[in-house]
Amino acid sequence: MKVLKTNNIMTGKRTRIAIITVFLFLITFPSYAEQENVVEVLKLEGPISPVSADRLDKAMKIATQKGAQCLIIQLDTPGGLDKSMRQMVKTIMNSEIPTVVYVSLKGARAASAGVFITLASHIAVMAPGTNIGAAHPVALGMAGTLDKEMEEKVVNDAAAYIKSIAQKRERNVIWAEKAVRESVSVTAEEALELGIIDFIAEDIDDLLQKLEGREVNIGNTALVLKTEGAVFDFTELTFREKFLQVLSDPNIAYILLMVGIWGIILEFFHPGMFLPGIAGSICLILSFFALQLFPFSLVGLLLIFLALVLFVLEVNITSYGALTIGGVIALTLGSLMLISPSAVYISISLKYVFTMVAVTSFIFIFIIFYAIKAQFRKPATGPKGMVGSIGIARSDLIPQGKIQIHGEIWNAILNLEEEVVKKGDKVEVVRVEEMRLIVKKSG
């Protein structure tokens, strides 16, 4: 009887577990069904950098794991690093799910590296009022120019690369090559006529409607998109990605460079403070990291450092303003030249340049003014600083005696023996001879 009772209890437990399992499945089943129509969205704004490549790789993995209908890359870029761009193109070309590049919002652009990324997508779309093109390579991280032979090699390599992408995606190969060799750029409407993109979408809702039912080949498999009523899932920026994205702004790179130099100079003038030197070193390292994302000019960077050297020399060498003027000129030219003019869409705002030049010049002119003033100031300490000071006689000076000056008792002797100085009279120091003051009666 006990065995039968135990079996009944076990059977009852199994039944309850089965019922709970089925109940939980029924509850969660609708959510799984909803997840079938998910569209992953990644927003990429600003220069193409290692951060952009990492974000795309992360979004692609998330979208693949979720089994999303597609990954939409909302793109707005002036261009960026060639290495990062190629990494992103490989990620898109080898993706396991359809990838849609959507150049938006209105006023956005896909320039330089953005052209390669757009052409590499399975479906390329643009919003009205956007443009694409100007993919001529620039000398990233150098002085902004290449010798003729090397430039020809770089251009030929970029042209062959973009042609291969356009051929693979069956887009306009002739225009793609012109975008590299001639830096041509077109509007969204012109891009559609030329066969560069697949269609134009007003906004992301319009995009989803037009994607519905489109067939995309992934490898040897043809997939039909079901995006009508799809749920958006945005790939959010992590704190690290937000921080690195801020550094990808050339204005921030320039400000960090100047602040870093200020910190190092302040530590130079006041050794042992540590904080300015540490903060300045960190800012300099961060600025160098940020500058590698842009086609910066080494000449511009050297001019900025030359300006700071001239300012420091002015403090130690009296040049009557010549070094200061040279420093201001070098700093202005260096700031204007820091980002190479070959980077059409990437530059430092003039308001930041003139603000930083004005602040830096004011700081050093202020320091130089007080340094020069100090050189002509009458000594305030030591024996020479005693000349002209007024003291009180502590004994009769006939002609020698004691006087009190600056709270100290000194041996003193009259400058003119015929003078009469009684105890309590005021005396003025004429000169100092060894450890004795030569005085005269005051008043």
Residues 357 and 413 in one domain: no
- Residue pair 192/199 in contact by the 8 Å Cβ criterion: yes
CATH number of domain containing 220 = 3.90.226.10
At 308 the pLDDT is 82
Residues 103 and 160 in one domain: yes
Position 6 in a domain = no
SS (H, E, C) the chain: CHHHHHHHHHHHHHHHHHHHHHHHHHHHHHHHHHHCCEEEEEEEECCECHHHHHHHHHHHHHHHHHCCCEEEEEEEECCECHHHHHHHHHHHHCCCCCEEEEECCCCCEEECHHHHHHHHCCEEEECCCCEEECCCCCCCCCCCCCCHHHHHHHHHHHHHHHHHHHHHCCCCHHHHHHHHHCCCEEEHHHHHHCCCCCEECCCHHHHHHHHCCCEEEECCEEEECCCCCCEEEECCCCHHHHHHHHHCCHHHHHHHHHHHHHHHHHHHHCCCCCHHHHHHHHHHHHHHHHHCCCCECHHHHHHHHHHHHHHHHHHHCCCCCHHHHHHHHHHHHHHHHCECCCCCCCCCCHHHHHHHHHHHHHHHHHHHHHHHHHHHCCCCCCHHHHCCCEEEECCCECCEEEEEECCEEEEEEECCCCCCECCCCEEEEEEEECCEEEEEECC
Between CA 422 and CA 417 the distance in angstroms is 13
- Residue pair 378/366 in contact by the 8 Å Cβ criterion: no
CATH number of domain containing 404 = 2.40.50.140
Mean of per-residue pLDDT scores for the chain:
82
203, 237, 271 - which closes a domain: 237
Residues 325 and 262 in one domain: yes
Q: Which residues pair with 409 in a beta bridge?
A: 404
pLDDT band at 132 (very low <50, low <70, confident <90, very high): very high
Position 181 in a domain = yes
Q: 90 CB contacts (<8 Å, ≥6 apart)? A: none
- Residue pair 111/146 in contact by the 8 Å Cβ criterion: no
The domain containing residue 411 runs over which residues? 383-441
237, 266, 291 - which closes a domain: 237
Position 242 in a domain = no
CA dihedral 75→79→81→86, nearest 10 degrees, is 60
Report the amino acid identity of residue 57: D
The model's pTM? 0.66
pLDDT in tens, 218-252: 888 889 999 888 888 888 778 887 887 788 788 88
Residues 42 and 128 in one domain: yes
Report the amino acid identity of residue 395: S
Position 244 in a domain = no
Residues 91 and 47 in one domain: yes
HSE of 340, CA atoms in CB hemisphere, 13 A: 21
Mean pLDDT of 92-106: 94
At 367 the pLDDT is 67
Position 22 in a domain = yes
Residues 166 and 58 in one domain: yes
Residues 76 and 205 in one domain: yes
Q: 308 CB contacts (<8 Å, ≥6 apart)? A: 261, 265, 327, 331
Between CA 399 and CA 386 the distance in angstroms is 20
Percent of all residues in the chain with a pLDDT value above 90, rounded to a whole number? 33
Nearest CA among 40, 191, 24, 176 for reference residue 103: 191
The alpha carbon of residue 441 and the mean position of all alpha carbons in its chain are separated, in whole angstroms, by 69
CA distances, 279 to each of 256, 264, 283 (Å) = 10, 8, 6
Between CA 416 and CA 396 the distance in angstroms is 14
Residues 299 and 336 in one domain: yes
Residues 282 and 357 in one domain: yes
Rounded to 5 degrees, what are φ and ψ at 71?
Answer: -110, 120
Q: 204 CB contacts (<8 Å, ≥6 apart)? A: 41, 72, 74, 102, 104, 232
pLDDT in tens, 38-83: 899 999 998 888 889 999 999 999 999 999 999 999 999 988 888 8
Residues 84 and 201 in one domain: yes
Between CA 8 and CA 324 the distance in angstroms is 98
Total domain count, the chain: 3
Report the amino acid identity of residue 284: L
pLDDT in tens, 326-383: 888 998 999 888 876 555 456 788 888 889 888 887 877 776 666 566 555 555 555 6
At 19 the pLDDT is 58
- Residue pair 292/141 in contact by the 8 Å Cβ criterion: yes
Between CA 249 and CA 246 the distance in angstroms is 6
Residues 58 and 189 in one domain: yes
> Does residue 136 surpass a pLDDT of 80?
yes
Q: Which residues pair with 427 in a beta bridge?
A: 391, 441
Which is it for strands 131-133 and 185-187: parallel, antiparallel or unpaired? antiparallel
376, 407, 426 - which closes a domain: 376
pLDDT in tens, 161-215: 999 999 999 999 999 999 999 999 999 999 999 999 999 999 999 999 999 999 9
Q: Which residues pair with 110 in a beta bridge?
A: 77, 132
Position 1 in a domain = no
Residues 81 and 226 in one domain: yes
Position 215 in a domain = yes
Position 61 in a domain = yes
